[in-house]
Amino acid sequence: MQASFVFMHSPCVGPSTWAPVAEVVRRSGTTAVVPDLTRVGSGPAPHWPAVVAAVRAAAPADGPLVLVAHSNAGLFVPVVKEALGGRVVACVFAESRVPPRGGLTEIAEEPFLPFLRALAGPDDILPPWTGWWGDEEVAAFLPDAAMRRRVEADQPRLPLSYFTQRVPVPAGWENVPCAFVWYGEPYDGDAREAKDRGWPVSRVPGRHLHQVVDPEAVGAELLEVVNSSLFPRRRAPEASPM
């Protein structure tokens, strides 16, 4: 049975950041879903159980699954995989943080927290993600005006506690094939880590939201990675000489 793709967007943005790639994958004849993770920060911390619940609710009811995570959504892959059990047959990290092999991990690394605290209001709620950067920086990520409007329309406002929560990393989560697809800095370090772990690593040059800018290229690369690198088709045996 062919595996369905489950696209996990960063909770800093919304499903619109994966929707175009999901459509590319569907046109190939593969089932693809994009769980909505925009409300995972609305309840009390820790917020990772809400991520798990949202992905479980949106995943197809039957059959094998390939998890594809972008940005900090990659840090939730181990707990999502554990919740979905043996149905997860592969994990692909697309311009994503690579989780440790076990223990606990925080969503935001310590040097980034002062920047986030300075952005937060008195209620410790952050502005939408595109509000963190200058207009020129956002335009570099999202050069098309219509594209930018779609992304800005569904991005949430997250609490500071989302970034300080500690997410469990179940040991042995890497017992299925994993791969890394990256666009460029600052994820070159994660690409090196993935390569050191023996994962297939490939690059589609672009900025952090390149899957919105060029969904055809990113979708084609993800299909190639899964179908050729993680699950290569076995060659038919050659006929015996007569």
Q: For residue 129, which amino acid is it?
A: W
- Cβ–Cβ under 8 Å, residues 166 and 78: no
Q: For residue 143, which amino acid is it?
A: P
Predicted confidence (pLDDT) per residue in 142-156, tens digit:
999 999 999 999 999
Predicted confidence (pLDDT) per residue in 14-58, tens digit:
999 999 999 999 999 999 999 999 999 999 999 999 999 999 999
Give the distance, in angstroms, between the CA of residue 99 and the centroid of all CA atoms in the same chain. Answer: 12
Global confidence as pTM:
0.94
- The dihedral sign for the CA sequence 110, 139, 208, 9: positive
